[in-house]
Structure 1
Amino acid sequence: MTTVSAVVVSHGHAAELEVSLAALARQVDEIVVVANIPGSVGTVPEGARVIENASPRCLAANVNAGIAATVGNHVLFSNPDTVPGEDAVARLAAFMESRPSCGIAGPQMLWPDATWQPSRRRFPTVSGTIVRRTPLRRFYPPYERQTDHYLLAERPTEPVEADWMLGAFLLQRRTMLEELGGWDAGYRHYVEDIDLCYRAMRAGWERWYVPAAVVTHAYAAVIDRRFLSRHTLWHLRGMARYARKHPEALVARR
């Protein structure tokens, strides 16, 4: 029997949770919310459990705590800023069940205005990352010029394999998570989703984009708006860790 556990990490996102948890509760078998700081959770659906952290932890550590507290054979990680459309989780789970080698399945994501969001992406390279995270992006707008990384020319209507997908809403097979040792808590914030998908690939697990599952994502994209902030520094630290762990990945494509 297929069961889906949802793990949601909130860092002061109580207002967003009111909407996202209500939508999730109708589609999953259990929900665990990790409250990373005080005031992160308000009212939760009946049956949902809340883990209150004594002190803040990184995203990956919180996700791993949620995974450990759940029992479903599939684990959905969902951001507070996502709202799944009708049957989105069921569509992801059905696809995963149809392909035993699928370790991660992600939905089609839409911006709140219902326009398409490029959530299926290629693994990053050094040159592409430099353009995206420096003032060079003013001259080479990533969502316009980095067609290969964001797969901008592709709008698949049927499931297709992916290098990686935004970690905002990912269904994961528990056996894969156990094999990989969960998410890498060495990442402060950012890049842990790329790392998870890369390690899954190296272990022989497929990652699939399932466009029939639709999720609205109010993506803040903080590091896309400012060149220097604590978030951009966290992203740089994350990319540095990714480069140390997987140096071959950054030069695989140009």
Structure 2
Amino acid sequence: MAKISACIVAYCNYDEVCAAVRSILRHTPSPTLALYVVDNGSPDGCGRQLAGTDFGDPRVTVLPLPENLGFGKGHNAVLDRLDSDVHFILNPDILLTGNVLEPMADWLLATPDAVLATPQLYFPDGRLQALPRRKPTPWLLLARQLAPRFGGIFQKADDHYTMQDEDLTRPRRIEFCTGSFMAARTNVLKRIGGFDPDYFMYVEDADLTQRFLREGEVWLAPQFSAIHAWHRAPMRDAGKFRMQLASMGLYFKKWGCGKGAL
């Protein structure tokens, strides 16, 4: 049985974070689980509340940070503590409905050359989320933002980006693993140094995927699933949209604008 760890980076929304933590504990019987909850200096007191919460399980460690370091740095805060075989990077809006982490970790370790994987994620109402993606290009990321409003050519490009022209009901290799739910070989994650700290938020998961692809293969494993609320609002928030543009610029400067292999 694989030794597993997991990390949730929280920023406000105490109730949602607690729901995620409790779902993981409820559905992960493994005594080897080490679950880290990192609070990114939440201004609403979420970190203080989490630190004072008795989850009734010694497998949980709460790490309140004094300031908001960003998504990637928040996750990197636990790197030196990890001694697992597989580490899960999870959003605070993830809910497990069954024992997913243990069998997914075993599957990852048993799959030759696989170093990173994501399960199939669903909205709370049961709708499928189109999260497995091809390698980003400027055009595909633009289409991703414009498709819901304008459709047409943008929707066609977004469907290609999210691999709607492929069979996603079976395990397959992908080029972009969502940071909402990642299963990573811990030794590889530590070897590459976790997330690039130059990203504060957005596109850091695409960057991490490209670095994992230098080490092995990245997979969609749809035989495993979880619920993901998916709070996606960069187009509705000017500040977040500017932050997303800055991260996109950093990504393309680093990795180029060419097409992926799939």
Q: TM-score, normalised by structure 1?
A: 0.90
Q: How far apart are the structure 2 equivalents of 1:107 and 1:4? A: 16
Alignment of 1:1-254 (within 5 A): 1-25=1-25, 26-27=27-28, 29-36=33-40, 37=42, 38-40=45-47, 41-42=49-50, 43=53, 45=55, 46-47=57-58, 48-133=60-145, 138-140=149-151, 146-201=158-213, 203-223=214-234, 225-226=235-236, 229-247=238-256, 250-252=257-259
Deviations 1:10-46 (A, max 9, x none): 0012111221111112425111110112324533522
Deviations 1:103-146 (A, max 9, x none): 1111000011011001111111121222334x576223656652
Q: TM-score, normalised by structure 2?
A: 0.87
Q: How far apart are the structure 2 equivalents of 1:239 and 1:104? A: 22
Q: How far apart are the structure 2 equivalents of 1:116 and 1:143? A: 17
1:32–1:69: 8 Å Cα contact kept in structure 2? no
Partner SS, residue 198 of structure 2: coil
Deviations 1:218-253 (A, max 9, x none): 001112x42x51111111111111011111xx2225
What percentage of residue pairs aligned between the two structures are identical? 23
Q: How far apart are the structure 2 equivalents of 1:95 and 1:44? A: 32
1:16–1:81: 8 Å Cα contact kept in structure 2? yes
Partner SS, residue 182 of structure 1: coil
Q: How far apart are the structure 1 equivalents of 2:155 and 2:121? A: 15
Partner SS, residue 83 of structure 2: coil
Q: How far apart are the structure 1 equivalents of 2:207 and 2:10? A: 21
Q: How far apart are the structure 2 equivalents of 1:168 and 1:68? A: 21
Q: How many residues align?
A: 248
CA RMSD in angstroms comes to: 2.1
Q: How far apart are the structure 1 equivalents of 2:54 and 2:131? A: 28
Q: How far apart are the structure 2 equivalents of 1:212 and 1:88? A: 10
2:84–2:186: 8 Å Cα contact kept in structure 1? yes
1:7–1:67: 8 Å Cα contact kept in structure 2? no
2:20–2:93: 8 Å Cα contact kept in structure 1? yes
Counterpart residue type for residue 89 of structure 2: F
Q: How far apart are the structure 2 equivalents of 1:88 and 1:188? A: 29
Partner SS, residue 9 of structure 1: strand
1:125–1:251: 8 Å Cα contact kept in structure 2? yes
Partner SS, residue 214 of structure 1: strand
Partner SS, residue 252 of structure 1: coil
1:102–1:206: 8 Å Cα contact kept in structure 2? yes
Unaligned runs of at least 5 residues, structure 2: none
